[in-house]
A and B are shown apart, each in its own frame.
Chain A
């Protein structure tokens, strides 16, 4: 089921040794994320063993500073792809290779504990919803995310304040437990936590869906800055306007496959009514 590997290979001791030298000078030609032959099917054991196809062979590269927007109707497999990369879903076949300071890491076969250790640090996933620890304030949540990515305490608190201010989160809410905030407020806390001291790759799943126009504007500007500073972004937005403004490339999915890919101005005009 796994298609032949192209430029991705399972690292052995030897290739890892070479990789370490090669990658020490951060080779910009190596994609930050490289997906090859990714398949996902679900077996619903308790619904007469039904098999549901999620992804049917995805090949995709995302480079530093590139923002790839996934388009397609509901059920096309956009979120499934993000989750298979983050391994919230277990891929059925194929490879997901992440560039890392010490050489490529293949995520689908990585030991659980090791994956847990690099999640959020070498690559992040920003969902639609805030999954915050209870009894923590917004500033605390965002600063902790920064600390987890290697910032020292002082810097992290400062950066968290900058991010929350930038997303117009009222300062009187910064030390209120985030669990009591509104949907839009939580989403901004989530986005700030996901993007503070950003990892090299960010997977964004509808990160601005609950925001009003003014707040949405601020959030989109923040996401645009990520790519400008070299972060690789793979995102799902429900509106074409966001894709048009942010994406360097739009990848259209249908039935778990990529059916089209190109710059926003070429792809988006005939997607009206399809990609919602």
Chain B
């Protein structure tokens, strides 16, 4: 199949690395100029029978992610990208494209079939997330890698107060002083625009937009270097979604967090990311600068998506 990989990565880069790293230092204020903190290499996930032969019979050309015998689903295959500190990278695609599979593989919500996910840790070391044990990965989720889910019930305990949901992350990171925890939780909720008088209300009583704000406060509680956002505004009313998007954008900008944003919605990807990739039937069909991908899409599938989004 033809892969419209318009991305210029280091391999295809005709210029010198040394020179540009110098430039990077000179523009250290540039949020997108950092070194990769997350590098996904040839990630693959097959659900059902772990039959590698299914790979050849799935993908955009086959028009499906399901194997001919129906026993395997190649949800994602040969997915590679990297994200630098302070950069937001987008993954766009329709339902069944594999975008959420990619996110969940990075998050550690399920195991992967192939590939590696290299992450730079706070101490400067680099680890392949896919080789870590479940408990090691849980530890990572405390303060190094956060996830904001489309469904707040996945990211929050709905039966606990907003403040409690945030405090839980702080205690997990070792905070012990009640007064300080409460103060920090209030500060975080204030930053994500949750009214303070609702801090002690159960999250169950919150609207969708408000729940996403609590999720954000919880996800950012320990200032993780990487945040994964899975359809963070899907299902919200348009005006509420716009407010949450603004908030995400300014938080990412301010805190210099690396983000992977997964969405089917072009507006979300356009607003939050500088680079992105398009997935279809479990494969990457195109990757590039976000504005270029929307103004000058190369792959037939991306052209169709963009035309539909603009119509």
B300 touches A46 (CB 8 A): yes
* Smallest Cβ-Cβ distance to A105: which chain B residue: B15
Q: Evaluate whether A113 and B23 lie within 8 angstroms (CB atoms) in the complex, with A16-B18, A88-B295 already known.
A: no
Question: B133 within 8 Å of A by Cβ?
Answer: no
B289 touches A115 (CB 8 A): yes
Interface stretch (choices B28-36, B47-55, B168-176): B28-36
Question: A101 within 8 Å of B by Cβ?
Answer: yes
Question: A117 within 8 Å of B by Cβ?
Answer: yes
Question: A87 within 8 Å of B by Cβ?
Answer: yes
Cβ of B275: which chain A residues have Cβ within 8 Å of it?
Answer: 112-113, 116
Q: Evaluate whether A112 and B27 lie within 8 angstroms (CB atoms) in the complex, with A10-B14, A12-B16 already known.
A: no
B29 touches A147 (CB 8 A): yes
A106 touches B27 (CB 8 A): no
Total A-B contacts with CB atoms under 8 angstroms apart: 115
A117 touches B296 (CB 8 A): no
Q: Evaluate whether A90 and B296 lie within 8 angstroms (CB atoms) in the complex, with A46-B303, A134-B242 already known.
A: yes
Cβ of A110: which chain B residues have Cβ within 8 Å of it?
Answer: 8, 13-15
- Count B-side interface residues using an 8 Å CB cutoff: 43
Give A110 to B23 CA distance when docked, in angstroms. 13
- Distance in angstroms from A193 CB to nearest chain B CB is 15
Cβ of B33: which chain A residues have Cβ within 8 Å of it?
Answer: 113, 117
- Distance in angstroms from A112 CB to nearest chain B CB is 5
* Binary per-residue interface labels of chain B (234-248) against chain A in the complex, 1 for a CB within 8 Å, 0 otherwise: 000000001001100
Give A176 to B213 CA distance when docked, in angstroms. 24
B6-27 interface with A by 8 A CB criterion? 6-10, 12-16, 18-20, 22-24, 26-27
Give A115 to B274 CA distance when docked, in angstroms. 10
Cβ of B250: which chain A residues have Cβ within 8 Å of it?
Answer: 133
A126-171 interface with B by 8 A CB criterion? 133-135, 147-148, 150
A117 touches B14 (CB 8 A): no
Cβ of B29: which chain A residues have Cβ within 8 Å of it?
Answer: 147-148, 150
Cβ of B8: which chain A residues have Cβ within 8 Å of it?
Answer: 109-112, 115
B274 touches A16 (CB 8 A): no
Partner of A90, one of B6, B13, B23: B6
B289 touches A87 (CB 8 A): yes
* Smallest Cβ-Cβ distance to B82: which chain A residue: A113
B13 touches A114 (CB 8 A): yes
Give A103 to B23 CA distance when docked, in angstroms. 10
- Distance in angstroms from A17 CB to nearest chain B CB is 9
* Binary per-residue interface labels of chain A (43-75) against chain B in the complex, 1 for a CB within 8 Å, 0 otherwise: 111100000000000000000000000000000
Question: A20 within 8 Å of B by Cβ?
Answer: yes
* Smallest Cβ-Cβ distance to A144: which chain B residue: B253
Q: Evaluate whether A113 and B84 lie within 8 angstroms (CB atoms) in the complex, with A46-B303, A133-B249 already known.
A: yes
Cβ of A46: which chain B residues have Cβ within 8 Å of it?
Answer: 300, 303-304, 307
* Binary per-residue interface labels of chain B (264-297) against chain A in the complex, 1 for a CB within 8 Å, 0 otherwise: 0000000000110000000000001101100110
Residues of B within 8 A of A (CB): 6-10, 12-16, 18-20, 22-24, 26-27, 29-30, 32-33, 84, 87, 242, 245-246, 249-250, 274-275, 288-289, 291-292, 295-296, 298-300, 303-304, 307
In addition to A46-B300, A101-B26, A148-B29, 15 A-B residue pairs with Cβ atoms within 8 Å of each other are: A11-B15, A11-B16, A11-B19, A44-B303, A88-B291, A89-B295, A101-B23, A105-B15, A106-B15, A111-B12, A112-B288, A113-B84, A114-B23, A116-B32, A121-B30
